[in-house]
Amino acid sequence: MRPKYEVADIFRLYGKRYRKTHCMSPEQHKVMAAIMSCRTSRLGGHKETCENCGTSRNCYNSCRNRHCPKCQTMTKEVWLDKRREELLPCGYFHVVFTLPHDLNPLILANRKELLTCLFAAVKKTLFAFAADPQWRLEGKPGVLAVLHTWSQTLIDHFHLHCLIPAGVLSFDSKRWIKGNETFLFREDSLAKEFKKQYLYMVESQLKQLAVTGNDSLLLRRAREKTWIVYAKKPFADPEQVLEYLGRYTHRIAISNHRIKSIDNGKVSFTYKDRRDNDKKKTITLDAMEFIRRFLLHVLPKRFMKIRYYGFLANICKKKAVLLIRRLIGKFMKINIYVKETIREKVLRLTGKDILLCPYCKQGQMICSGRMNAWNTS
């Protein structure tokens, strides 16, 4: 069922005025155009006709842009199916590394460089702790890191969600060293090391970065702050890990279902207030401000928001996962990824057959013609 209001509707109503009054990057222009065109005649498609009752309908193509609210569900499900092959029979920790808001102006002026530093600082921090004898591990960890750049109200809030198996592979790859069942590393210790690593990287690159005019002040404020690293309790079983992963990996700044009204130049949407026990509330923004906040979270071209490190790195994880399963010696049912058609996947996930005629409920919708895309430039 189509949501009553969509981000695309806001762009169609107010996007032209926003483009005239605001400076936009090429990536932001591309995202706005893609979202407005998604599943419309602009992208072309095909016509389907029921073989039983003859009813016809138009089916338009998706934009497949990673920032589009309509295009992430199937992408997420395909990604999750592949991750099932990589699960380990052990606990997993969810650790969140958050940058202080004092650095936001500097990051917004240098997204690619400073978000890359965020990934690198988290990697160095986790690898240093995994190798430190005081934590009784001394090995190589596995890390899956997912970048989020927003808060519930769409303001810039840069943080990294990390999923980490509760143990490490010894440096000689001969032992699986099980971690503590209640915590991996102390949060305050992680935060101090993360802060040190990130600020060092930023300061070493400062001469090559676009300046904001008060960089020294921003860095001083960030240095004075207590940085936050938050770790959740480990998951009970691998299937819970997958279910949880789906909430984070392909999420965008806001889904269409959160938009409650578009009226008289204002946009209202729901959000969870983290300071009030995640109570659901509604916020209303001027349409120009809503668009500005949404476009804040458009990532640089080809920037990877999901990255893998340690024994989960793409170059070695296939062999490493098999080795670790053997070393743990615990039985685990392995789900092999089987490629499915969109029809098969939707049927498995929702129980609905997308090719069943919605009118007579008996015939199958078959392709009866192609519709070409039309140029919007």
Query: What domains can be seen in the chain, in order of their start residue?
Result: 7-67+340-371 (no CATH), 73-253+296-328 (3.40.1310)
Q: Which two tokens stand for residue 208?
A: 């090559």
Measured distance CA(175)–CA(362) in Å, rounded: 58
Which parts of the chain have pLDDT scores under 70?
Answer: 1-2, 236, 331-338, 375-377
Residue 147: its H or E element: strand 142-150
Please report the pLDDT score of residue 213 as a whole number: 79
Per-residue pLDDT of 13-67, as tens digits, reads 999 999 999 999 999 999 999 999 999 999 999 999 999 999 999 999 999 999 9
- Look at residue 305 in the predicted model and tell me its pLDDT: 95
Q: How far is CA 33 from CA 228, 249, 300, in A?
A: 37, 23, 16
Please give the pLDDT value at position 1: 54
pLDDT value at residue 375: 55
List Cβ neighbours of 13 (8 Å cut-off, separation of 6 or more). Answer: 262, 287
Spatial CB neighbours of 168, under 8 Å, sequence gap ≥ 6: 130, 137, 138, 139, 140, 141, 142, 176, 177, 179, 310
Q: Do the beta carbons of residue 270 and residue 260 sit within 8 Å?
A: yes
C-alpha distances in Å from residue 169, one per residue of 172, 176, 310, 312, 322? 8, 5, 9, 11, 12
Model confidence pLDDT, tens digit, residues 303-320 = 999 999 999 999 999 999
H or E segment at 368?
Answer: strand 365-371
Cα angle: 338, vertex 343, 344; to 5 degrees: 35
Whose structure tokens read 């969600």? 161
Q: Which residue has the tokens 């609210």?
A: 69
Note the helical H segments in the chain.
Answer: 7-21, 26-37, 73-83, 104-109, 111-131, 187-205, 215-224, 238-245, 287-295, 317-328, 342-350
**Tokens linked to 97:** 């590394």
What is the secondary structure of 35-74 as a DSSP string? HHHTTSGGG-EEEEEETTT--EEEEEPP---TT-TTSSHH
- Residue 168: phi and psi, rounded to 5, are -135, 160
**Structure confidence at residue 376 (pLDDT):** 46
Question: Are 98 and 229 spatial neighbours (Cβ–Cβ below 8 Å)?
Answer: yes
